[in-house]
Amino acid sequence: MQTCAVVPAVQRDRLRECAELLSGEHDFRSFMGTRKGLTEDLVTRRHLDIELRPGATCVDAPHLQFWDIVFSSKGFLYRQVRRTVAVLVAVAQGRLSLEDVQHLLDVPSKDSWNPRAATAPPHGLYLQHVVYDPADLAEGE
């Protein structure tokens, strides 16, 4: 999945540090939105890779730097990507600290979500590439 964010230049380092902290294998229950029908026994451990790339823009605004945020995983939880973008932006803007993010990972719970990171809107988010294991596509099993 890929999305785009605008982050002032002085806060790029915090954005990168947060992306590094969130990359890897973690229990992302704190990043999962609630939805009717989701069960508490759902496996919420995922391996997530986050790549930050300078993005293109269609507006003439040289003072703004756009970033493409690319997420790679074998699967995503409900609203995980949107909430992860919200945390990345909140850290870059100084509304959350890296310690706040570490708490989300250390205490995985729907009650751990920090409201200073408003869930990012879905526009700008799109599925870019899907890779299937050939064994999963084999017939007759």
Task: Provide the CATH number for the domain around residue 112.
Answer: 3.30.70.660
140 domain residue, yes or no: no
17 domain residue, yes or no: yes
Backbone Cα Rg of the chain: 16
Tokens found for residue 20? 């590094």
* Its pTM surpasses 0.85: no
100 domain residue, yes or no: yes
118 domain residue, yes or no: yes
133 domain residue, yes or no: no
For residues 77-114, one letter each, b for 16 or more C-beta atoms within 10 angstroms of the residue's C-beta and e for the rest, the string is bebbbbbbbbbbbbbbeeebeeebbeebbeebeeeebb
For residue range 88-106, list pLDDT tens digits in order.
999 988 999 999 999 999 9
24 domain residue, yes or no: yes
Q: How confident is the model at residue 12 (pLDDT cuts 50, 70, 90)?
A: confident
Pairwise CA distance, residues 14 & 89, whole Å = 9
Helix (H) or strand (E) holding 20: helix 12-22
Q: Which structural domain range is residue 48 located in?
A: 2-128
For residue range 18-72, list pLDDT tens digits in order.
999 999 999 999 999 887 766 677 899 999 999 998 887 767 777 777 788 999 9
135 domain residue, yes or no: no
Pairwise CA distance, residues 71 & 78, whole Å = 14
Which residue type does 36 have? K
